[in-house]
Amino acid sequence: MKLMRHTLLAAVALIGITALPAHAADKVCKLEITGNDLMQYDKKELKVATDCTSIEVTMKHIGKLPAASMGHNWTLVKTADVAAVANDGLSAGLEADYIKKGDARVIAHTKVVGGGQSASVTIPMSKLKAGESYSYLCTFPGHSALMKGAFIIG
Ligand code: CU1
């Protein structure tokens, strides 16, 4: 009986090892978007394939103005939450990247950066579901009127 259990454990260990190559199939999809001094992103939509296991978004501020006056972030939310997340972020302040503390509607966000800087954020695909409508926005006060776009999975 004891021997059988050992054999079973060895078999489990073996399965564990053979299962490892599945990890190599992780697909990190990288997206880039820029923000400028005219309060604009360069893309109106970002699209990712359904087989990505995680998504790395890099937002590069290609302007010259500092974060205090023309800072940008990249914030991912459900489209239905865009206005509320932007509104609640207004009073959060630059230190908090204009994101309300503990805002569960925020799926992911980069920090706010100024001209010449960039910031990245990685989102596990498991946080997103097919069929949901997602959008991204900049939560710097007033920016989401212009700085928003569709985040499409498919
Ligand atoms: Cu912005």
DSSP secondary structure string for all residues of 116-132: T-EEEEEEEGGG--TT-
Helix (H, G, I), strand (E, B) or coil at 67: helix
- For 34-47, the pLDDT digits (tens) are 999 999 999 999 99
CA–centroid distance, residue 82 to ligand 1 (Å): 14
What length does the chain have?
Answer: 154
Task: Work out the burial of residue 98: count CB atoms within 10 Å of its CB; fewer than 13 is exposed, 13-18 middle, 19 or more buried.
Answer: buried
Give domain 23-153's CATH superfamily.
Cupredoxins -  blue copper proteins (2.60.40.420)
CA–centroid distance, residue 106 to ligand 1 (Å): 16
pLDDT for the residue numbered 24: 57
CA–centroid distance, residue 145 to ligand 1 (Å): 10
Task: Work out the burial of residue 7: count CB atoms within 10 Å of its CB; fewer than 13 is exposed, 13-18 middle, 19 or more buried.
Answer: exposed
Q: In the chain, where are the structural domains located?
A: 23-153
- For 65-100, the pLDDT digits (tens) are 999 999 999 999 999 999 999 999 999 999 999 999
CA–centroid distance, residue 23 to ligand 1 (Å): 36
Share above pLDDT 70 across residues of the chain, in percent, rounded to a whole number: 84
CA–centroid distance, residue 24 to ligand 1 (Å): 36
Please check the confidence at residue 3 and state whether its pLDDT lies above 60.
Answer: no
CA–centroid distance, residue 116 to ligand 1 (Å): 14
CA–centroid distance, residue 49 to ligand 1 (Å): 26
- For the full predicted model, state whether its pTM sits above 0.75: yes
